[in-house]
Chain A
Amino acid sequence: MNYLLHLLIYFEIYIIVAMSLNLLIGYSGLLQVAHAAYFGVGAYAAALLALKLGASFLPALFGAALAAAILSLLVSLPAWRFRGDYFVMISLAVQVTLYALMYNWVDLTNGPYGLSGIPRPAIFDSTMATQGGVFAFYGVIVIFIAVTLGLLKHSPFGRALQAMRDDELAARSLGLPVRMLKVQSFLIASAMVGVAGGMYGAYVSYIDPTSFTLDESILMLSMVIVGGTGNIRGPIVGAAVLIAIPELLRLLALPDAIAANVRLLAYGLLLILMMHWRPQGLAGKYRFE
């Protein structure tokens, strides 16, 4: 197995995660911590469609996007009157709730034992036998999503999101439908991260709830913060850093049990430091203001 390709495939998956979260935090100004839960919803949906219903890869991805999008209403509907702290709190509640469902609804998700034997990515009938094939295929998906986000950014929708982020009160007084905008950007961002979840499951072939905890949501958040919010370079930098740090830690030859904790510790510290010294992120354009 080519380790570099392995990392690059992870990189591709996380670029989608970062871009989708950036749509929410950077463009819409909606800070939230439930992204890992929706990543998980996508992973479970795609895996279950493939394992229980025999769906092939692309339809499973579509199902993943749909499931994540519909469940995104759990945050956007209760929270649509609010933003800021209440919005984050509600997303926290949803994150914990969805995780609890993944863990406890054993009949559906197999609980802590997870789902294994997820089929590898495939286009129609040809399964990607090689890593190179997966890398290329996923690359196409990344480009597709990036182009979609670019089109949205330059559309009246994107401009309305910016206005809402900048000054929600003024935006409302000009007639912008802010509640609908929040619901829509959540739908889109969740659908995209759901797709990333499906891609993740198909690549690693085994998923369990531990990959979709609040800690992971905070990690995803730190990707966007570190890389910078508000532009397209930011998510790429953020995803790269997210992949790089565990690799650097690996050089320290920590035992596996501790490695996970140290990784999370490092991210927590990174977040604190970023908030003190560069709230706008390493490569970003828009400052939280």
Chain B
Amino acid sequence: MDTAIQAMNETIQPVPHIEKQVEPVVQAEGIHLAFGGQRVLDDVFFELPAGGAVLLRGDNGSGKTTLLNVLSGFIHPERGKVRMCLNGRSLNAPHTSPERLARAGLGRLWQDIRLFPTMTVMENVLAATAGMAGINPFFALAAWPLVRRQEKAAQDRALANLELVGMANRANSSGDKLSVGQMKRVAIARLLQAGAELLLLDEPLAGLDEGSAQGLIKLLNELNEQQGKALLVVEHQHERMAPVCNRTWYLANGKLITEGMPA
């Protein structure tokens, strides 16, 4: 058994060396969660290294999305610790709200994307800007010049992020005019605008045609290798994620297996 695991380990690609953080991005210990009498997460342990890219696999209903929900702070596990180190700050996930986790640098791409339907692409990205003082209405009224300066800076950043995902030319489109692939890119730009360092991606290739899928995979690779973002991807089409994810975890019967080679 040990030699098999050792053999598997030796075929794993080395992780690109990122100097930013020494601490792993996520350290989870002993997560327990049951729904209606069923153990969805049973004593789950894992460590996601800084700048790592991990593929999470498991059968339908095995709890992959639940694990994402726990990590993003929407569901509290019965037991367990999740320590996150984002942008140099350390957080205890189960006791932190999703909003604070997001502000700390955790980004989530929803399976149903969830762009804001009444806002344009640009407005969608701007809405995610972290650190805007003008989000407080009293401040927005009292310190109008500062707010306008921040707004200008936010717009520059938004354009840069849209360029990165290749959607700068559609900045003024409304959400309903975009293809699924384009919407996902905008959603990713939103996460970057929010300052995400760890991206949780729920079925990113769902609903994409061949060309869009290739493009998205390339983008994710770029985000991981060049921008140093850590990725945790739940994806059915696991073989396609090989260029991006150098680790694969398996979730089955509530147990998480974190050794494994790319499919």
Does B bind A?
Answer: yes
Q: Which A residues lie at the B interface, using CB under 8 A? A: 148, 151-152, 155-157, 159-160, 162-163, 165-167, 169-178, 184-185, 188, 286, 289
Tell me which residues across on chain A come within 8 A of B117, comparing CB atoms. Answer: 166-167, 289
Give A171 to B72 CA distance when docked, in angstroms.
13
Which residue, A155, A166, A174, A188, has most C-beta atoms of chain B within 10 A? Answer: A174
Query: Number of residues in B with C-beta < 8 Å to the partner?
Result: 40
5 cross-chain CB contacts under 8 A: A157-B136, A157-B137, A170-B115, A173-B114, A176-B127
- Known contacts: A156-B132, A159-B123. The answer to whether A174 contacts B137 by CB under 8 A is no
**A172 vs B99: C-alpha distance in the bound complex, in angstroms?**
5
Chain A residue with minimal CB distance to B200? A173
Q: Is the CB of A170 within 8 A of B134?
A: no
Residue of B nearest to A155 (CB): B140
CB distance from B193 to the nearest CB of A (A): 8
Q: What's the Cα separation between A178 and B99 when bound, in Å?
A: 8
B135-175, CB under 8 A of A: which get 1 and which 0? 11110110010010011001000000000000000000000
- The residue on A at minimum CB distance from B151 is A156
Q: A151-B144, A173-B98, A173-B102 are in contact. List 4 more A-B contacts (CB 8 A).
A: A152-B140, A162-B116, A162-B127, A173-B72
User: Looking across the interface, which residue of chain B has its beta carbon closest to that of A148?
Assistant: B141
Q: Please tell me if the beta carbons of A175 and B194 are within 8 angstroms of each other in the complex.
A: yes
Q: Does B236 contact A (CB under 8 A)?
A: no
B134 touches A156 (CB 8 A): yes
Give the most central of A155, A163, A184: most B CB within 10 Å: A155
Q: How far is the CA of A106 from the CA of B128 in the complex (A)?
A: 50
Question: A167 to B190, alpha carbons, bound, how many Å?
Answer: 14
Contacts of A176 in B (CB 8 A): 99, 127, 135
CB-defined contacts of B110 to chain A, threshold 8 Å: 169-170, 173
A169, B113: Cα distance in complex, Å: 11
Q: Does chain A have a CB within 8 A of B248?
A: no
Complex CA distance for A143 and B140, rounded to whole angstroms: 18
The answer to whether the Cβ of B130 comes within 8 Å of any Cβ in the partner chain is yes
Contact of B140 with A174 in the complex, beta carbons under 8 Å: no
Residues of B within 8 A of A (CB): 72, 74, 97-100, 102-103, 107-108, 110, 114-119, 123, 126-130, 132-138, 140-141, 144, 147, 150-151, 154, 190-191, 194
Alpha-carbon gap, A175 to B132, bound state (A): 11
Complex Cα spacing A57 to B218, Å: 65
- CB of A159 to closest CB in B, whole Å: 5
- Which residues from chain B contact A184 at a C-beta distance below 8 Å? 136-138
Complex contacts, A162 vs chain B, CB 8 Å: 116, 118-119, 123, 127
When the two chains form the complex, which single residue of B118, B123, B132, B141 contacts A152, counting CB atoms closer than 8 Å? B141
Among A157, A166, A174, A177, point to the contact of B128 (Cβ < 8 A).
A174
On whether A155 and B147 interact (CB within 8 A), knowing A172-B99, A175-B103, the answer reads yes
Cβ distance A24 to chain B, nearest Cβ, rounded Å: 13
**B141 and A167: CB pair below 8 A?**
no
Complex contacts, B130 vs chain A, CB 8 Å: 175
The 8 A-B residue pairs with the shortest CB-CB distance, nearest first, are A175-B102, A156-B134, A170-B114, A155-B140, A175-B103, A166-B116, A156-B132, A157-B137
> In the complex the two chains form, is A155's CB within 8 Å of B137's CB?
yes
Least CB separation from A287: chain B residue: B118
A169 to B75 CA separation, bound complex (whole angstroms): 13
CA distance A196 to B112 in the complex (A): 43
B135 CB contacts on chain A under 8 angstroms? 156-157, 160, 176-177
A286 to B100, CA, bound (A): 29
List residues of chain A with CB within 8 A of the CB of B114. 167, 169-170, 173
Instruction: Report which of A157, A166, A188 forms a contact with B119, defined as CB distance below 8 A.
Output: A166
Give chain B residues whose Cβ lies under 8 Å from the Cβ of A155.
Answer: 134, 137, 140-141, 147
| Residue from A152, A156, A173 in contact with B108 in the complex, judged by beta carbons closer than 8 Å | A173
Q: How far is the CB of B206 from chain A (nearest CB, A)?
A: 17
Chain B residues whose CB sits within 8 angstroms of the CB of A157 once the complex forms: 134-137, 140
Q: Do A188 and B102 touch (CB < 8 A)?
A: no
Chain A residue, CB-CB nearest to B117 = A166
Complex-state Cα separation, A289 to B116, whole angstroms: 11
Query: In the complex, how many angstroms separate the beta carbon of B195 from the nearest chain A beta carbon?
Result: 8
Q: How far is the CA of A178 from the CA of B136 in the complex (A)?
A: 12
Q: A162 vs B174: C-alpha distance in the bound complex, in angstroms?
A: 14
Taking CB atoms, residues of chain A closer than 8 Å to B144 are 151
